[in-house]
Every structure is written in structure tokens, then in C-alpha cells.
Amino acid sequence: MPEQVVIAYKEFRHLISPSSELSLLVAYFILIKPGLRNMGKASRDKRDIYYRKAKEEGWRARSAFKLLQIDEEFNIFEGVKHVVDLCAAPGSWSQVLSRKLYLPAKLSPNSDFQHTLLKKYALMFAKRETPLTSCWSQELIFFIIVMISSGTDLPLIVAIDLQPMAPIEGVIQVQGDITNARTAEVVIRHFDGCKADLVVCDGAPDVTRLHEMDEFVQSQLILALKLFFTEVTFAKPKSSRNSSIGEAI
């Protein structure tokens, strides 16, 4: 027991009945010691390589590397246009989705963003009285026509959490309960009735601090996925902590 707790115990011992001393010890191990363990955990996090990399690369949490490594192994982002991030706060997985899906599409030549710019240039040119070839080369005009005709929609990313998050480019944030049907209706409206191509979630059941119980609850959650999906793959990215049970795909 830490020195400060011992001092406090000695100072107020005369106020505690002998029958309550055991309760005091139990309270210490249930209420105080877990907090001390968390302080130790924070110190370990700062020594963790993925914690440092997250800070260096601008990720909001080290968990970003879990999603990146899952994509490296399973290529889950291929062909994805509509994606939902459940239990999204603080936003590290939404950041990954933005950087891997939204930003590359936005910067591609045939994105809606570039498509709008090309339309703007075409309208500006159409208002000119000079012949086409006197201002722009035929090759450039042909390029504009091709790009306008091949414009594609940008990916839609919807992040949901009870807690608010700082904005992320290309991510629509919904503050709500993922178990509430109204929240699902909001997502469906954003997708214009389209189905999601990908749903990601880095949430977990509340921990009890009893390792065996926490493992059991998480394993039951994974088994429950088989009620909804014909195939469930279990993976543990190398950035997952040793105490983590892993991810289900």
C-alpha cells in the first residue's frame, strides 16, 4: 500500500471501527489501486513504439495502426465508397479512413472535386469570344471533356459516437447511440439509401478489471457475430497490446 495511503489510514484510524478495517482494505484494492494501475499504464503507453509513432504522424491514438495493419493484410478498403465508423471517438480510425479513402479520391483527376474545377474552367472558356485553338491546345480541351464525362463520387464516411470529436476532412460526424434505431436512420439518409460497403468499430465492452471475465465477454461478442455473418476471421494486428483479445473481421 502506498505511503500516502498508509499515513491517511493511521491519521483517521481512530474514526474507523475494527469491523470496518477489512472494508477499508477492500475499498483500497477496488477503488484506489486500479487508478494506480492506470497511472502505470499511461507511463507504459509513452514508452510504446506505436504511441510515439502516432504522435509523430498526427494520429489521434495508437489504435490507427491496427486498422492500417488490418488493411495491409486483408485489403478491406478496396472498392469501398460508403463506410461507417462505430464508436469512433477520439477519431483515429476515422483519420485512417479519411487518409486512405477520401483524400486520395479527392485528389484524383476524375474526382468530384477535380470535376467541379474542370467544369468551372470549361464555363469560363465557353464565355470567351475567341476560337478554341487560340487560347487552349486541342489536347487540353480533349482532356477536360474526358475528365468531365468520367467524374466519380467521393467516398462517404460517417463516424458515430456518443462523444463529440474534432473535425476530420471528409468525415461526417453523428453524435448518437449506435444501438438506437434513429442513429441508423441518420446514417441511411447520409448514404441516400445505399448500403455501407464497410463497417469498422474499435469499441469494446466496459472492462471489469477481472481479466478472465473481460476475455469471456469479448469472446462472446465475437461469437455473436456469427449470427449475422457467414464468415468471421479473427486477427490480431502486431500493434495490438498483449492484453487485447484481437479483432474480428
In DSSP notation, 110-173 reads TBHHHHHHHHHHHHHHHT--S-HHHHS-HHHHHHHHHHHHT-BPPPEEEEEESS-----TTEEE
Tens digit of pLDDT for each residue in 25-77? 333 333 334 444 444 455 455 568 999 999 999 999 999 999 999 999 999 99
Tens digit of pLDDT for each residue in 91-132? 999 999 999 999 999 887 665 555 565 566 556 655 554 454
pLDDT value of position 119: 61
pLDDT value of position 45: 54
Confidence grade of residue 215 (pLDDT, cut at 50, 70, 90): confident
Confidence grade of residue 247 (pLDDT, cut at 50, 70, 90): low
pLDDT value of position 32: 39
Which of 6-10, 126-130, 220-224 reaches the highest mean pLDDT? 220-224
Residue 95 contacts by C-beta under 8 Å, 6 or more apart in sequence? 58, 59, 60, 64, 168
If you search the block for the grid coordinates 483524400, which residue do you land on? 103
pLDDT score of 7 more than 80: no
Segments making up each domain of the chain, as ranges = 3-47, 204-249
Tens digit of pLDDT for each residue in 140-158? 555 555 554 444 579 999 9
Strand pairing partners for 235? 247
Nearest Cα to Cα of residue 111 among 62, 136, 142, 147 = 147
Contact call for residues 63 and 92 (beta carbons, < 8 A): yes
Residue 131: asked if its preceding bond is cis (omega within 30°), the reply is no
pLDDT score of 9 more than 90: no
Nearest Cα to Cα of residue 68 among 37, 93, 35, 101 = 93
- Check residues 235 and 140 and name the one with the higher pLDDT: 235
pLDDT score of 221 more than 60: yes
Global pTM reads 0.66
